C-alpha cells in the first residue's frame, strides 16, 4: 500500500486531536451530552474520517479543519458559561412534564414526548405508575428526574417492620383519548365497565380522557385533556 504511511500519520493525528478536544471541552460522561454536543461529535468524527481517506487532503488540511471546528465548539461552550441567555438556545432547558401529579400535555407535546416514552422513562427511575410521581422533569440531555409523592418515598415497609404486600403493575387503559383494548382484556374488563368507572369520576366520555391507568385495589387514575 503506497499510502499506508500517510493514513497511519493522519489516523494518529486525528486520534490525538479528538482526544485533546474532548479533554478541553470537559465532556467526561455520555450523560452530559446535549443533542447539540452529540451532533457536533458526529460531525467532528466525520471531518477526521473524511480527511484520512481523501487523497488530496493531508495532515495540514486535517489540522486546519479540526482546529476550526474545535474552536467553534470551544466558543460555544464559553458562551454558555459566560452568557446565561445562550444556554436555552444552545443547550436546551429542562421541562416539567408532571406537575403536582398531573401530566403536562403541552410540555410533552413541545418536547415531542409521548405517553409511552414518558412511562418508559418513569420505570427507569423506579416509578411504575404516574400516580406515584409528584414532579417529573425532562432534562436537556433526554433523561428524566422525578420526585415521588411522600407516600411513595422512604422509609420502606421493611424499615417499619411491616408485612410484605402483593405487587401489581399498573395498566394503561386510555392513551390520548383512545382505549388500549389489549390492556382492557388483560384485566378482564370491557368498555362498559370502563365507561362506568369514568362516570364515577364525572368524566363524560373516553375521548375526554388524556390518560387513564388501572391498578388493582385502587380507584382508576384519570386525567382529562
- C-alpha cell of residue 43: 460531525
Q: What is the pLDDT of residues 142-196, one digit of tens each?
A: 889 888 887 666 666 666 676 766 667 788 898 888 888 888 988 889 999 999 9
Domain for residue 204, yes or no?
A: yes
For residue 162, the 8-state DSSP code is P
Q: What is the pLDDT of residues 95-138, one digit of tens each?
A: 899 998 899 988 888 888 888 899 999 999 888 888 888 899 99
Closest CA to 115 of 131, 130, 101: 130
Which residues are CB-neighbours of 5 under 8 A, at least 6 positions away? none
Instruction: Specify the 3-state DSSP secondary structure of 133.
Output: strand
The CATH code of the domain that includes 213 is 3.30.240.20
The pTM score is 0.56
Domain that holds residue 180: 171-224
CA distance 99 to 135: 5
Domain for residue 61, yes or no?
A: yes
Domain for residue 164, yes or no?
A: no
Domains held by the chain: number: 3
CA 184 and chain centroid, separation? 28
Q: Are residues 75 and 47 in the same domain?
A: yes
| Domain final residue pick, 152, 182, 201 | 152
Amino acid at each position: 500500500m503506497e499510502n499506508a504511511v500517510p493514513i497511519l500519520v493522519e489516523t494518529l493525528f486525528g486520534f490525538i486531536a479528538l482526544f485533546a478536544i474532548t479533554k478541553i471541552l470537559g465532556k467526561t460522561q455520555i450523560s452530559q451530552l446535549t443533542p447539540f454536543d452529540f451532533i457536533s461529535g458526529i460531525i467532528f468524527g466525520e471531518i477526521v474520517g473524511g480527511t484520512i481517506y481523501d487523497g488530496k487532503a493531508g495532515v495540514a488540511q486535517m489540522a486546519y479543519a479540526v482546529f476550526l471546528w474545535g474552536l467553534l465548539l470551544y466558543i460555544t461552550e464559553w458562551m454558555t458559561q459566560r452568557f446565561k441567555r445562550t444556554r436555552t438556545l444552545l443547550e436546551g432547558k429542562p421541562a416539567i412534564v408532571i406537575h403536582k401529579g398531573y401530566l403536562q400535555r403541552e410540555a410533552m407535546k413541545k418536547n415531542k414526548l409521548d405517553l409511552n416514552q414518558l412511562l418508559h422513562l418513569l420505570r427507569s427511575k423506579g416509578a411504575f405508575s404516574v400516580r406515584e410521581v409528584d414532579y417529573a422533569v425532562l432534562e436537556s440531555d433526554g433523561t428524566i428526574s422525578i420526585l415521588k409523592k411522600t407516600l411513595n418515598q422512604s422509609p420502606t415497609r421493611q424499615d417499619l417492620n411491616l408485612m410484605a404486600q402483593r405487587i401489581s403493575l399498573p395498566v394503561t387503559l386510555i392513551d390520548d383519548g383512545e382505549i388500549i383494548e389489549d390492556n382492557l382484556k388483560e384485566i378482564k374488563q370491557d368498555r362498559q365497565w370502563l365507561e362506568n368507572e369514568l362516570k364515577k369520576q364525572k368524566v363524560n366520555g373516553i375521548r375526554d380522557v388524556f390518560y387513564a391507568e388501572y391498578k388493582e385495589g385502587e380507584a382508576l387514575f384519570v386525567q382529562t385533556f
